[in-house]
A and B are shown apart, each in its own frame.
Chain A
Amino acid sequence: MSSSGEMLEKNYLWHIYWQLAGVIMVCVVIALAVVSYFSHRVFERELVPETEKKAATEGASVRALVLKATSYGIPFDGLNGVDKTFEEVFSDNPEFSFAGITNTDGTLLYQFGKEPQGAQVHFHSPALLAAMRDPTVPWQVDQVGPQYVVSLPIISGAQPLGVLHIGIDAVFVNRVLLEVMLDVLVVLVVSLFFTLELLNFMAGARLASGLGEFAQQVEHMRSGDFTATARIRANDEIGRLLRRIDAAVDHLNVRYEHLAGEVQDKLRNADAARREALKPALAALESIAKRFRFGSSPASAVGDEMNLNRIRAPLFAFILAEELTRSYLPTYVNQLLVNVPGVSPQVVIGLPIMLFMLIVALGQPYLGSWSERVGRRKAMLLGAAIATVGFLATALAYNLYDLLVWRSLCALGYAMVFVAAQGYVLDRTGQTNRAQGFAMFIGAIMVATVCGPSIGGILADNIGFRLSFGVSAIMAFLSILAILRLPVNEMRPAATRPSRGPRLREVISLVLDRRFMTLTGLAAMPAKIILTGVCFYLVPLYIVSIGNTSAMAGRMLMVYAVMMVVIVPLSARLSDNSMRRDRYVSVGLIISGLSGLLLLLSDSLLVLFGVVFLLGLGQALSIAAQSALVAEHCQEEIRIYGHDAVYGVYRLLERLGNALGPLLASLLVVFWGYQGAFVSLSGLVLFCGIAFTVATRGDEWQAEAVRP
């Protein structure tokens, strides 16, 4: 299927496409960066005055209360519970860090919070005191130490009584600015990936399909097939070119028909001698007919149905719907919590995630053969529809119990779409391009994991959990629309036997197999346990528990996803040639295992960032090598049980690890708190990593690893 000229042409066009994509990306990034920079500047300029205005408003209501009390004859220096009033104001305004009332001499009568350095000098400053005797001065701001202090005069009738001061923490203002900047950064990264996805969806996929059609046509002609196609060509450059080729082919066909007709005509009317003379012409015609094919081709020629790229957009949209919920789902569950007797609330919060993973793990083997029977497109449609209903119902959930039902629907839909999309790729790839096909498949998922949690966190903070689930429902619905555009014709490679789920007998014998379980139990399962335990359960809950936002949880999860996107292709390439694969798994596991131990140092967000960073690094290093190791080391098992069964059991156990993660993490939280859970979960993985390293040291592993 590949001639050098065609490849050159295709590469050349792809080259141009990527160059164009690069230019567009650079433009988008520059534009976004400029917009971000200026919006940040504007925000910075507006934030401080807005905060001051708010302090002045709050201050005015306290002042009104003070004046009301004095109007009842309570002396200005004999007020009671002023600190309580301040406390109430502070609880609604976390940016306030100090409040006080002085008399007209500047002596502090009442105060609450942390007095900034230099406050006494400021309160006694004659300029301020003079200004505060003037009823026309609404309020005044000065920077005192690390605070912006807003001062309001307290004047009863014409009688100045004192001054009310409210201090705004500059650190708080800076933190808000940092938050905004991080959000902008997240939006920037996400837009980048989105643009790439959209570009690919709108131009890349089209280009690929156009080029594919073009290559096919050239290939047909090269092999002498000049049958006219009835295909409708796209109205783009390649389409127009193809139409011209089609016209030329039609012309050739007409000429051939004409020639053949003429020869037939002449033969019919000619006498014997003439017939003899015509023989060379007839032979020539026959040889043409032998070498080339003319006429019209069957309509359902292989074409667009082969296009793998078309699965990317629906898959991305669908996975994004689920990924959006990652950063805030546990916090949402926490809100809907009901008391389940005998079960700690921490464990109950983990239940929906656990159930989700369990359904996906147990459903996948069986959904594979099911989607084969009903057709991949239909299976994906049904799955996406179920998940859409699930998301919508989750948004409206009444309490934990019905939430579990709705999350189960989402899980079922997720498993159906995932398996069917995987099948779609399998159906359309052979030995040669399967890896490429899966790279595309995983790419779409990766991009969704980068964009989803971060955007989801921002959404949750701004529009609330329920509406955010509504957004997920919309995404899932959009994926339905994208799935509808998939080719209706199913491709079924003729020679494949129907796939099946692993049998119980196989599961049991493989679970008892030492070599298989060294790979699965010491590497694959711990890796998944720490992934779901930390990323899906601990990080969202811990970050919110220390007073941070869901957006922050989303950012953390984004760090993980970005690490995966950046490192996985690198480590996949490297593990093939530089180092033994099992060493990659060892190193990866040990790095993952060390990640949580960082929290022994401190519980700051920066350390948590380090945890997620290391976890992402460790997982990215081991993930590509892990499944390849099974084929490498378990050839004996594959010979006995078959490739499908061994990998089926491997995936099943790996996904059970996914379900175990939140359960284990929640139990650890019950006993040792969040930090203890991070540390002990990492400790477990570290132990597995070391055990795996020791177990794979022997000659037995060495010997097999030499094989390519």
Chain B
Amino acid sequence: MNAAARAGRALLFAAALLCAVGHAAAQLSGRPLRIYAITFRGMTDVERGFQDYFAARHIPVQITFRDLNRDNSRMPGFLDEIRRTRPDLVYTWGTSVTLGVVGTYDGFDPQTNITDIPVVFTLVAAPVLAKIVPDLKSSRRNVTGVFHVAPTEAQIRAMASYRPFKSIGILYTPTEQNSVVVVEEVREVSKRLGFTVIAKPLKFNAARQVTAEGAPEMIEELKKQKVDWLYLPPDSYLGTQAKSVIIPAAMAVGMPTFASTEQLMDAGALTGLISHYYAIGQFTAYKAEQILINKVPPARIPIETLTRFTLQVRMDVAEQLKMPPPLPMFNYAELIVPTKGEVVAPQ
């Protein structure tokens, strides 16, 4: 647990920086590499890390950014544009975008999905469960990528080492495959470790769209059902509602929240076992480099995440909840004190 939670940066890049400079230099003379990037909800730190990696390695890239803005109807237009412009590589952010571009491994359609241009996905919580790849060793097609969520069991154990629990509550978006599969995983872990899980899907509005309305009531209900933690899964819609609706509602009933992604942590969760989006972006760029510069076929590049995760704690939230982190955590957690706006990294 400690190993997973201890703060870490992907040292891999340092090694990569040293060993592949020759290849990068060879590429310098040619035209810049063209990358077509599709985001789900605008630019994040992932893209910043992605771009910075190429800049640091002096690899000229020309990135065309397109934003789905959570509207799947835009996808066909992007796919047409990809076919027309034929970029060297496609970058996809999140499970929904990735599935829209490459489809599932057992049900993709060469007519609509992209098959002849390498695709690197990022920030997909559970690529196997979402059926983007059959296993993490290889996609067996023109796809590879990076996932960002710590193993579910590691997250659960981190939660327990902060404060032991008997029961956890989860709110999730039923239309987001990534959320649904994580909820399933939590249930699996609960059978092994012996705790109960109360998972509530968010409601639909009249237009059959998922809405945060009713979420505070659901949290009150969870409180009555005596859940000890509110677990925030890697859920894109939930992420957008966390700061304004979900976390304030939890705070109102004195319920601690556990974040599975940096975005949820930034939204004000008490604690979480996360990867920094910036580092995820760098790691994604490293995979792209393998394909573009080293000419490794994507099917031969395993789907990975960073080897270390960061355990973050918001000290102001801990104080409000009267739940100081346990003493051993001061050794390894990243303690966030927002009043001064600074992050105190562990020694």
Chain A residues within CB distance 8 Å of chain B: 62, 65-66, 68-69, 72-74, 78-82, 84-85, 88
Contacts and interface: CB of A to CB of B under 8 A. Distances in A.
B46 to A, nearest CB: 30
A84 B337 contact: no
A478 to B, nearest CB: 44
B330 A65 contact: yes
B145 interface: no
Contacts of A84: 161, 326-328
Interface stretch (B51-59, B106-114, B317-325): B317-325
A72 B325 CA distance: 11
A65 B327 contact: yes
A69 B330 contact: yes
A170 to B, nearest CB: 28
Contacts of B337: 72
A73 B327 CA distance: 13
Contacts of A65: 327-328, 330-331
B315 A66 contact: no
Contact of B315 (A73, A78, A80, A88): A73
Contacts of B329: 81
Given A69-B325, A84-B327, 16 more contacts: A62-B327, A65-B330, A65-B331, A69-B324, A69-B327, A69-B330, A72-B315, A73-B319, A74-B319, A74-B324, A80-B323, A80-B324, A81-B325, A81-B327, A82-B327, A88-B328
Contacts of B24: none
A8 to B, nearest CB: 78
29 contacts: A65-B327, A65-B328, A65-B330, A65-B331, A66-B327, A68-B330, A69-B324, A69-B325, A72-B324, A72-B337, A73-B315, A73-B319, A74-B319, A74-B324, A78-B324, A80-B324, A80-B325, A80-B326, A80-B327, A81-B325, A81-B326, A81-B327, A81-B328, A81-B329, A84-B161, A84-B326, A85-B326, A85-B328, A88-B328
A66 B329 CA distance: 11
B130 interface: no
Contacts of B280: none
A85 B315 contact: no
Interface of B: 161, 315, 319, 323-331, 335, 337
Contacts of A74: 319, 324
Contacts of B327: 62, 65-66, 69, 79-82, 84-85
Contacts of B326: 80-81, 84-85
A344 B94 CA distance: 46
Contacts of B325: 69, 80-81
- Chain B: interface secondary structure? helix
Nearest to B325: A80
A81 B326 CA distance: 4
Nearest to A87: B328
A69 B330 CA distance: 7
A344 B324 CA distance: 46
A43 to B, nearest CB: 34
A72 B319 CA distance: 10
A73 B344 CA distance: 14
Contacts of A88: 328
A334 B323 CA distance: 44
Contacts of A72: 315, 324, 330, 335, 337
The 4 closest A-B pairs by CB, nearest first: A81-B326, A74-B324, A85-B327, A80-B324
A69 B344 CA distance: 13
Nearest to B316: A73
A66 B331 CA distance: 10
Nearest to B322: A78
A65 B327 CA distance: 7
Contacts of A85: 326-328
A217 to B, nearest CB: 77
Nearest to A69: B330
A237 to B, nearest CB: 71
B5 to A, nearest CB: 14
A273 B280 CA distance: 130
Nearest to A86: B327
B324 A79 contact: yes
Contacts of B315: 72-73
A149 B106 CA distance: 66
A88 B327 CA distance: 11
Contacts of B335: 72
A69 B161 CA distance: 16
A66 B325 CA distance: 12
A88 B335 CA distance: 21
B344 to A, nearest CB: 9
A655 B324 CA distance: 66
A388 B249 CA distance: 72
Contacts of A62: 327
A68 B326 CA distance: 12
B343 to A, nearest CB: 13
Interface centre among A69, A78, A82 (most CB of B within 10 A): A69
Contacts of B319: 73-74
Contacts of B161: 84
Contacts of A82: 327
Contacts of B328: 65, 81, 84-85, 88
A458 B161 CA distance: 39
B330 to A, nearest CB: 5
Contacts of B331: 65
A62 B328 CA distance: 9
Interface centre among B319, B324, B335 (most CB of A within 10 A): B324
B333 to A, nearest CB: 11
Contacts of A73: 315, 319
A12 B331 CA distance: 76
A82 to B, nearest CB: 5
Contacts of B323: 80
B111 to A, nearest CB: 47
A542 B49 CA distance: 55
A100 to B, nearest CB: 14
A65 B335 CA distance: 13
Interface centre among B325, B328, B329, B331 (most CB of A within 10 A): B328
A599 to B, nearest CB: 36
A85 B327 CA distance: 6
A80 B335 CA distance: 15
A74 B327 CA distance: 10
Contacts of B330: 65, 68-69, 72
A498 B125 CA distance: 77
Nearest to A72: B315
Nearest to A68: B330
A81 B333 CA distance: 14
B315 to A, nearest CB: 5
A21 B291 CA distance: 79
B228 to A, nearest CB: 14
Contacts of A69: 324-325, 327, 330
A298 to B, nearest CB: 76
A79 B325 CA distance: 8
Contacts of A68: 330
A74 B320 CA distance: 11
A103 to B, nearest CB: 16
Interface centre among B323, B326, B337 (most CB of A within 10 A): B326
Interface centre among B327, B330, B335, B337 (most CB of A within 10 A): B327
Contacts of A78: 324
A538 to B, nearest CB: 34
A66 B328 CA distance: 9
A102 to B, nearest CB: 16
A66 B319 CA distance: 16
A81 B330 CA distance: 11
A78 B322 CA distance: 9
A84 B337 CA distance: 24
Nearest to B319: A73
Nearest to A78: B324
A82 B328 CA distance: 8
B159 to A, nearest CB: 14
A74 to B, nearest CB: 4
A73 B314 CA distance: 13
